[in-house]
Amino acid sequence: MGCMKFSELSVYLDKLERTSSRIEITKTLSELFIKSSGAEIDKIVYLFLGCLAPRYKGIVFNIAERMMLKALAFAYSLEKKNVTELYKRVGDLGEVAYKLSSKSGSRITDYGSLTVLSVYEKLLHIAQDEGEGSQDRKIKDMAKLLSSLDARSSKFVARIPVGKLRLGFSDKTILDALSWMEAGDKSRKAELEAAYNVLPDVGLLAKAVKEEGIDKAVKKVKPKVGVPVLPMLAQRLKSPTEMIKKMEEVAVEPKFDGLRIQIHFKRSGFNGKKDCKVKAYTRNLNENSWMFPELESVDKHVVSDEIILDTEAIGVDEERKALANFQQTMTRRRKHRIEEIASKVAIKFYVFDVLLADGKSQLKEPYLERRKVLEKTVNKSKLLEIVKYEVTKEPERINALMHQELKEGMEGIMVKRTNSRYVAGRTGWRWVKMKEEEKAKAKLVDTIDCVVLGYTRGRGRRAGFGIGQFLVGVITGQKIQTITKVGTGLTDDQFRELKKRLSKFETKEKPKGYEVPKDLEPDYWVGPKLVVELAADEITKSPKHTSGYALRFPRLVKFRDDKSATSATTVSEVKKLFKLQ
């Protein structure tokens, strides 16, 4: 059993908070991992990432800031208004906890002696407490935990449930540190990342590496039903001639404007539960099975006993006998009245790949072999339909198929190398997408997914919206760099919706990792939570924006609720798009 004291862990948390150097963060994490035991390393990893489990498990605290303020008041025997006043002055719940704990001093016998495992278990209990009266119980249990910790520990524990830990690193840094732990450098990072792509639970991977070493841990990894695989993504190329040059023989598929969904099916049921045979995950690795009650009948449409399918979920407009657009499909994102909404917007899953079939991984099989497995295991129905494809080596045929799909209302085409394995992310010229240009004059061949960094107050007519324009960025490594401000092309309803969403993510200080010039700083910062899809006339080089690029006449296409900040467009992708112009 692990027995590291949480007070010892908080020393590392404090050091990491004050460190900006990526290599120093990696070395510090590596040093901590060497000290930790196999029983606690996974918990340490989760806590350092500000969570209790990987995203796909859906364990959330459901503790708002007002609840944490009540817990702090209760923990240190103060009036809530006094705690709220202090919070308004310092703007950080962690600092509030630190100040209040420092003043209160030790009041109980086990003060400062709690282990990492016991703090983790207490936080997990709080997160999983549901039902009538759970809010009050969460507040009381949180207060009890805070009052049992030293001041430095309470600072970090107060931040975790409200998503404000702000250490500024992600799963990829943990992989770097695991390599450093065993090899003393980043030389094992590629192997660890390949394993993580298949089994994206960095805590579980850290535990396996700690107990068995990298070689054994990586060798054991394979797709598992109930654990989402990181999705394969498409590159961008404008020229079919260039596609054939880079990819040789290709398969051309229609490109849908839907929601990317990974379907996991187990005929015997998950955890032996016969009534839970199917799970659905977004490309963001969040489980959203509740959105698709019709998937409960998927067992009638697949031959395999265990299967993982890559699909695009599309709303079907029954009246017009046509496919609905992305926004209509996304009306299902609210759990409230889902049965009623599902009856209005029928869903069909267009299946284009298979990752696992009857316990056998298909990831290393070439595209055409995976297609044969699909044909054998999925039956065409109103629920599932295998996406059509055509194999070609001719650029002219790619162009013809592109025009044909656009005429049929598709978004464009996907061009896939026929001998390609299924590889997570955008690596190599394996998959390429080709989309319709929004305007004939537009030079930009695709949309860009940007992270909202902050917003400015509305003036004039927009004063009532509370927002006038917003600043967005693209990612490079662990940083987010600015690319444009957006203030036009939104409807009044979109402005109101945007303000409502961003208000939830406001933060007093500029989040770690944001690279924003002084003259572009917004009135309000927001955490990297909201991704928006933008169209623009063109990309230009910019000495002003930290990405080195800017968007000319940017406009909002849609909110990307299916994407996280880590899956937004990268600076290197923007550079490629710039060249494609």
Query: Residue 192 burial (CB < 10 Å; 0-12/13-18/19+)?
Result: buried
The Cα–Cα gap between 473 and 550 comes to 10
CA pseudo-torsion sign 159, 164, 169, 174: positive
Instruction: Report the length, in residues, of the chain.
Output: 581
Cβ neighbours for 187, distance < 8 A, ≥ 6 positions apart = 179
- Contact by Cβ (8 Å): 216, 47: no
Catalytic option among 43, 99, 210, 255: 255
> Beta 235-236 vs 431-435: how paired, if at all?
parallel
122 given a catalytic annotation: no
How many beta carbons lie within 10 A of that of residue 489, not counting itself?
Answer: 14
The Cα–Cα gap between 258 and 243 comes to 24
Q: Nearest to residue 505, comparing CAs of 545, 564, 551?
A: 564
- Contact by Cβ (8 Å): 382, 224: no
Interior angle at CA 120, CA 114 and CA 125, nearest 5? 110
How many beta carbons lie within 10 A of that of residue 395, not counting itself?
Answer: 16
> How far from 311 is each of 305, 488, 544, CA to CA, in Å?
18, 34, 40
Residues recognised as catalytic:
255
